[in-house]
């Protein structure tokens, strides 16, 4: 299998979907939003899956679906919690270059609204800050490339990702 895809990981609100669609158009790749694939397969919103089945079951579903993605010349925007399933991340790393879209906690906090409505996999009693601190080392662990997006527009961010991938 060729490693010719770009996989975007990062916190909810980091711009994976917005940047992913723009990046795919800029470089002439297809686009896959793995959260949309989960919603389509399960027939429910992410928040409904988490509410009905629980967080661990949701993470298992997310991991399984991400492990089954096959793609060629695509930008794949993943859900922020994909990093909790090593098997999914290993499959994604085989599929392409994993790019961590890194933003500060302060920017993420400003961008996000209600975490439950958004379908964020949040442990009981966890705050957004707890989530950020838990996930950041995992994003860094799996990333082939880290792109810091602080204060950049979407167009500037896309160009920064393209530059980072060319190094």
Express each pLDDT in 39-51 by its tens digit: 999 999 988 998 8
**What mean pLDDT do residues 81-97 have?**
95
Instruction: CATH number of the domain at 53, please.
Output: 3.40.50.300
Quote the pTM value: 0.91
Express each pLDDT in 61-88 by its tens digit: 999 999 999 999 999 999 999 999 999 9
User: What DSSP letter does each residue of 95-145 carry, written as one string?
Assistant: HEEEEEEE--HHHHHHH---HHHHT----TT--HHHHHHHHHHHHHHH-SE
d(CA 44, CA 150): 33
> How many domains is the chain partitioned into structurally?
1
Q: What residues make up the domain containing 60? A: 5-166
């Amino acid at each position: 299998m060729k490693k010719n895809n770009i996989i975007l990981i990062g916190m909810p609100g980091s711009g994976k979907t917005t940047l992913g669609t723009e990046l795919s158009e800029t470089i002439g790749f297809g686009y896959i939003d793995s959260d949309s694939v989960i919603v389509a397969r399960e027939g429910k919103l992410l928040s409904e899956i988490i509410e009905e089945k629980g967080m661990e079951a949701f993470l298992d579903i997310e991991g399984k679906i991400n492990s089954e993605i096959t793609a060629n010349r695509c930008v794949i925007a993943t859900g922020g919690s994909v990093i909790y399933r090593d098997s999914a991340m290993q499959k994604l790393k085989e599929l392409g270059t994993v790019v961590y879209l890194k933003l500060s906690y302060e920017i993420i906090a400003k961008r996000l609204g209600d975490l439950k409505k958004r379908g964020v996999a949040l442990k009981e009693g966890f705050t957004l800050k707890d989530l950020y601190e838990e996930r950041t080392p995992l994003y860094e662990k799996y990333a082939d490339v880290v792109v810091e997006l602080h204060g950049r527009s979407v167009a500037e961010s896309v160009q920064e990702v393209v530059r980072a991938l060319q190094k």
